Amino acid sequence: MKSNAQRRLPLQARPAYRSLEGWALGSLIEHHAVRECEHHGHALDRSDPDARSRAREMAWNHPFPGATPEECLAAIDEVLCGIGDSCPDC
């Protein structure tokens, strides 16, 4: 009989992001355009134009699987519009 560890799917079988919006937020965090509040975990805009440019360039060159580069840029812009520069709970 196999143990639970042997029955699990390998990590490559699961997608890293399940939605385009999640992928866009992850890309912004990865390129340091967005950070998390240390106390509450809300996403905060760092207002760094270079970081935004790097995230947009990555979205154009390596789009989310199944999406066009234009859709990826639109998702990044939409995520940025919904993020403020201060934590609502602080």
> Of how many residues is the chain composed?
90
What digits encode the pLDDT tens for the residues 11-38?
455 556 789 999 999 999 999 999 988 8
2: pLDDT strictly greater than 50: no
Beta-carbon contacts of 82 under 8 Å, excluding residues fewer than 6 positions away, are: none
Please give the pLDDT value at position 8: 54
Q: Where is pLDDT greater, at 5 or 69? A: 69
Q: Which residues of 5-22 are buried (b: 16+ CB within 10 A; e: fewer)?
A: eeeeeeeeeeeeeeebee
Name the pLDDT band for 88 (thresholds 50, 70, 90). confident
